[in-house]
Amino acid sequence: MEHLSIFDILKIGVGPSSSHTLGPWKAALALCRHIESQQILSEINTIHVELYGSLALTGKGHGTDFAIVMGLCGYNPESVNPKIIEQYKNGLEEITEIQLCGKRAIPFSLERNFSFWKEEMLAYHPNGMKLNIIGQEEKKISAHTYFSVGGGFIEEEGVTPQATASPKSVPYPIDSGEDITQWTQKTSLNPARIIFLNERTWRTKTEIEEQLRRLWNTMLNCTFIGCHTEGILPGGLNLVRRAAKINKKLLLNTPTPPDASRWMDTISQRQFNFNQILQWVTCFALGVNEQNASFGRIVTAPTNGAAGVIPSVLLYARLFTDCIRSEQDIFDFLLIAGQVGILYKNGATISAAMGGCQAEIGVSSSMAAAALTHIQGGSPAQSLMAAEIAMEHHLGLTCDPVQGLVQIPCIERNSLGAIKAITASQLAIESDPKDSKVSLDQIIQTMWKTSLDMHHHYKETAQAGLAITLSQPEC
């Protein structure tokens, strides 16, 4: 089985969708690497893009065309300046040429260079795309088929996906929840430490800590910006941002702090009742996903559409409990969350186009529940139990985005996913795992079977459910 790093699951990117924005962006970057390695840049007249299945059906709303243009221009989603994102997004319809690989101008426009094959789906995965390299006199030099398989992961047809490292190089192979239990018993190490030692396969201690710190700071800054930005979300639904209003109400219109750290200090210095704490959890999640819907920088966790759950639960733990006493507790939270995400990636799916929203919000809630339980002092068995409980109550959740946008019902679902994660953790901590009837491994298997049974209309196509209800005029 493929052994992934937690940094394959938790990664910095740009909204609004990991499968429809980040994945296609990375596919276009992969094409640029091919062009440069083959030294054919000077031979290319243009690139023709063909989108299939879910990418064709909801690609406009998810910014798939924008993402591919950004990738073809050589921009990295992790580091590109937000001003450049805004510039391209606003002028996308008017472009007549692009700087291919950031080096050579070629003719290119959305109307001429994109084909949306909404009635056709490639066999391997619903999120398929073909990037055709066109030379002089419209001669096709080569064609490259990519699949965006969820969480920003891509696979190229005919190319074997490469694991981050050889399975033999991982000291404590984890292919199931039961493996976590066995390793903790054999080594007397806690799960976070075991996961950290596996990460040492690929990175030094300093590199791991620096990357974990970057993830946390990106989550925090995204939440801060989202909770202080008012207005209307892009895309045409005219959805009003709500996080800033909730933030203002809870802080009694306190002047905006200069940065995220001061904002956290302002919140932690006040007393809030139970209902207000729930409102904060909602506010955090809404803030992140309103930023995601606005093409903001987020942490894919494990997807963009579910990016608000983990930072919301982590901020809940940081501000309203005493379980985070140091930066190491934040690191441990992210390590546990990432490992649970890997179990779902390898054992089922983290792609809504394959499994509906249970594969996104359900997985993120499960990840957050396990991580919260761990840092609150729960046993390894209780952490696994919390992960199972969270997913159990997301089974069958469909993906039916209105107008193909990651807004309705996606943004609110992050708030619900965060609340469910907290509840699942509380249930697990107050329970004896020996009395549990369902294991995490069983729920992952069940989730995958449910995915296979789910009608494809409910897998990120905007062809059923709420997407249809809100697209039909009232009588």
Nearest alpha carbon to residue 184 among 348, 383, 435: 383
- Residue 7 covered by a domain: no
In whole angstroms, give the CA distance from residue 365 to residue 204.
Answer: 29
Over the stretch 300-337, which tens digit does the pLDDT of each residue have? 999 999 999 999 999 999 999 999 999 999 999 999 99
293 and 383 assigned to the same domain: yes
Through-space distance between the first and last CA atoms of the chain, rounded to whole angstroms: 53
Largest Cα–Cα distance in the chain?
70
- Side chain identity, residue 440: L
Residue 161 within any structural domain of the chain: no
Give yes or no: residues 152 and 180 share one domain. Answer: no
Q: What is the pLDDT of residue 253?
A: 83
Q: Both 57 and 180 in a single domain?
A: no
Assess if residue 322 is contained within a domain. Answer: yes
**359 plus 317 within the same structural domain:** yes
**CB atoms < 10 A from the CB of 454, how many?**
19
Give mean pLDDT, residues 44-59.
94
Q: Is residue 11 part of a domain?
A: no
pLDDT for residue 165 = 40
Query: What's the pLDDT tens digit per position in 414-434?
Result: 999 999 999 999 999 999 999
Tell me: pLDDT of 474 over 60: no
Q: Determine, yes or no, domain membership for 352.
A: yes
Q: Is residue 252 part of a domain?
A: yes
Residues 243, 223: Cα–Cα separation, whole Å: 9
- The pLDDT value given to residue 427: 98
Share of the chain above pLDDT 90, in %: 88
Which of 127, 156, 185 terminates a domain? The answer is 156
Catalogue the E-assigned strands of 196-325: 297-300
Confidence band for 166, pLDDT divided at 50, 70 and 90: very low
Structural domain of 212: 172-469
For residue 62, the domain's CATH number is: 3.30.1330.90
Residue that finishes a domain, picked among 156, 187, 213: 156
- Structural domains counted in the chain: 2
In a domain, 9, yes or no: no
Task: Give the tens place of pLDDT for each residue, 217-228.
Answer: 999 999 999 999
Are 188 and 41 part of one and the same domain?
no
Tens digit of each residue's pLDDT (9 = 90 or more) over 288-309: 999 999 999 999 999 999 999 9
User: What does the pLDDT average to over 254-275?
Assistant: 95
- For 321-378, where are the alpha helices, taking DSSP H only? 327-347, 352-355, 361-375
Pair 209, 119 in one domain = no
| Domain co-membership, 149 together with 182 | no
The pLDDT of residue 177 = 98
pLDDT of residue 161: 63
Residue 121 has which token pair?
Answer: 């789906």
What's the confidence (pLDDT) of residue 164? Answer: 42
Choice among 46-50, 253-257, 351-355, 366-370 with the minimum mean pLDDT = 253-257
- Residue 162 has what pLDDT? 53
Regarding whether 127 and 205 lie in a shared domain, the answer is no
Select from 109, 127, 156 the last residue of a domain: 156
Same domain, 85 and 224: no
Domain co-membership, 100 together with 235: no
Global confidence as pTM: 0.92
Are residue 92 and residue 42 in the same domain, yes or no? yes
Task: Answer yes or no: do 152 and 176 share one domain.
Answer: no
Mean pLDDT of the chain: 94
Instruction: Examine residue 2 and state whether it is found in any structural domain, yes or no.
Output: no
Residue 168 or 34, more confident: 34
- Calculate mean pLDDT across residues 389-393: 98
